[in-house]
Amino acid sequence: MTRVSGRERHLAARVLNALIREDYGTISTRLTRDKNGVALLLASGGKVRLTSGSPFQDFAVPVPPLAADENPRGGPSLAEVLRTLESVADPADAAGVAAFARECRETLTALELHHRHRRRVHSRLSSAGPGRGLIFYETLAAEVDHPIYPTSRCRLGLSPEDLVGHAPEFAPEFRLVWAAVPRDHVTATVDPGALPWWPVPEDVGLPGAMARTHVLFPVHPLTTPALADAPAVDGPGPIVVAPEPYLTVRPTLSTRTVEVDDRTHLKLPLPTSTLGLRNRRSIKPGTLRDGALAESLLREVLAREPRMRVSLADEQAYGHARHEHLGWLVRGLPEGEIVPVAALLAELPGSSGHHSRTVLDDLAVRLHGGDVRALLRDYLTALFDWNVTLFVRYGVALEAHQQNLSLLLRGGPMTLLVKDNDGLLASPDLLRAAGLEVPDFGDDRMLTDDPHALADVFVTITLHLAAMAVVHGALADAAAAGGLVREALSAALERFGDAPMAALLRARTIDAARLVGKSMLVAGTLVAKERTGARDVNKFYGTTGPNYLRPRPNPAGVGVAPSREADGRAPERLR
């Protein structure tokens, strides 16, 4: 029998669930029913039993834990799942299927690599002393699977050595490379030389006279080869890569953003993709300006909504050289203890098995006398007060998922800290009606007057990822988690009575027959944009799941395509 680790079984089940959820290649036609329940027929001829109870899909393969030993009976192997994928795929998707297979293999390599290093990483975290800085939580957050995307551990194209030296789950430190860029190629909102930690040319082995003609740019070590390969006609002109590195940094959960100090993060381009082949981690220059404009818009809203328990990271300082691999963003963070929402379900170092304790458990003891549900209610109240108000009153929906949200603890009531706002969606008409100026975004995909497009973002980001994934992960009970989320969302909506946008949001959430979902594998990797028609691979829908907000969920039949009546809008499906 082929040896298959528990980590491979874990990954294979998550990949199969994503394919079923998105019904890629009409894989749902391979589902069967008999007296023993629902099963999926694999290309090998074997069957995998499915169960109900997942909050995001009607039926799912039970996902085995990330066990340390081989697990011969814990579900299909990755090879079996990939063969099944190939058997249902459209021939036109051959390149995407091959790319996703690579994504899966690189994810498995990352999982096995982290398994070998986890004890060392936790020992290093434990020896850091009693104070837990943000990087402590960022490292733990990197150990937690994405709630929906199965291959989130993959940073496409990075070698095992690259990962150990630069990925957050390995808790490394490294020094930045610096490049001198001619001043007439540089756009910046601040003089970076005024930052106390920014080097001068002599610090990186360059002549001091270059300070008059060039600006130093920080470069992630893994991005340096991409600068050399950039065509001169498309690049920023002649640049000089400095011979000496400078500034020791540590990676945060996003990998491309690094910690300079407790209150300063630096976002840099990386030549890789995460959450799909098309989700490049380079930085298009226009997104820096759009993110700053989005933050300014949210600050205007907060000035009008003083009761909101929300803080915004300062993301106004940035620079670029008209090239996707030469740019930077300095993120300023407020005082206080910062705990990323993505870290809440992570195990604390030193806890395992029956004595396992999560970050959420620890915070519940500190803030609510050990009452996890009380902490979750507090979090959900702040989350929905903010996001429902944005949606109903201003026509704004944020892409503030679990990675872009943090709990900010400063001795009083818990506050939400929001960052990375360049993916928000806003209604020009509703902004004007509220007396706010419409930002001049360079990316016109950030503006829409379609209220259902706004609701799609709210449901798939705020409701699924920021709320339900966290609460369900904590309680491991879909009905109990759905009840807690429904209670908080209902309370936030009640403040707005019968306002049109409140009624629409209620119809698309609490009262919906089913909830919209994103087809992340389809748009991100498997199917070319020319076939999906997706303008934005991060906002491509076409699937629905059970409405876990209903007191008594009634899952629809297997393989039933989403209907207009299900969630109030027509589905986008591949034909």
Can you tell me the distance from the alpha carbon of 466 to that of 310, in angstroms, rounded to the nearest whole number? Answer: 15
Query: In the chain, count of helices (H) and strands (E)?
Result: 17, 20
Same domain, 212 and 323: yes
Residue 259 DSSP label: E
pLDDT classification of 101: cutoffs 50, 70, 90: very high
Same domain, 503 and 415: yes
pLDDT of the residue at 66: 84
Quick check: 276 and 520 in contact, CB under 8 A?
Answer: yes
Same domain, 373 and 498: yes
Same domain, 344 and 474: yes
Residue 405 in any domain: the answer is: yes
Which string of DSSP letters, residue by residue, matches 120-163? HHHHHHHTT-S---HHHHHHHHTTSPPSS-TTTT--TT--HHHH
For residue 424, give its domain range: 336-511
- How many structural domains is the chain composed of? 3
Domain boundary (119, 141, 163) is at: 141
Residue 365 in any domain: the answer is: yes
Same domain, 317 and 343: no
Residue 565 in any domain: the answer is: no
Same domain, 286 and 398: no
Quick check: 137 and 340 in contact, CB under 8 A?
Answer: yes
pLDDT digits (tens, 9 = 90+) for 168-196: 999 999 999 999 999 999 999 999 989 99
Same domain, 386 and 496: yes
Percent of residues, the chain, with pLDDT higher than 70:
91
Same domain, 292 and 314: yes
Same domain, 181 and 242: yes
Domain boundary (484, 511, 538) is at: 511
Encoded tokens for 424: 């928000």
Quick check: 281 and 272 in contact, CB under 8 A?
Answer: yes
pLDDT classification of 293: cutoffs 50, 70, 90: very high
Can you tell me the distance from the alpha carbon of 494 to that of 516, in angstroms, rounded to the nearest whole number? Answer: 22
Closest CA to 463 of 89, 121, 172, 55: 55
Residue 1 in any domain: the answer is: no
Same domain, 359 and 306: no
Residue 535 in any domain: the answer is: no
Can you tell me the distance from the alpha carbon of 346 to that of 366, in angstroms, rounded to the nearest whole number? Answer: 17
- pLDDT exceeds 80 at position 387: yes
Domain boundary (491, 511, 531) is at: 511
Same domain, 359 and 443: yes
Q: Which residue has the higher pLDDT, 127 or 525?
A: 525
Residue 526 in any domain: the answer is: no
CATH number of the domain encompassing residue 497: 1.10.510.40
Same domain, 302 and 342: no
Average pLDDT over residues 286-298: 98
Residue 150 in any domain: the answer is: no
pLDDT of the residue at 566: 43
Quick check: 405 and 416 in contact, CB under 8 A?
Answer: yes
Average pLDDT over residues 518-539: 94
Residue 575 in any domain: the answer is: no
Can you tell me the distance from the alpha carbon of 431 to that of 15, in angstroms, rounded to the nearest whole number? Answer: 40
pLDDT digits (tens, 9 = 90+) for 393-439: 999 999 999 999 999 999 989 999 999 999 999 999 999 999 999 99
pLDDT of the residue at 70: 61
Which string of DSSP letters, residue by residue, matches 432-465? HHTT-PPP--S-GGGB---HHHHHHHIIIIIIII
Which residue in the block uniquely carries the two structure tokens 């082949």? 277
Q: Cα 288 from chain centroid?
A: 18
Which string of DSSP letters, residue by residue, matches 188-235? ESS-GGGSTT---GGGGTS-GGGGGTEEEEEE-GGGHHHHHHS-TTTS
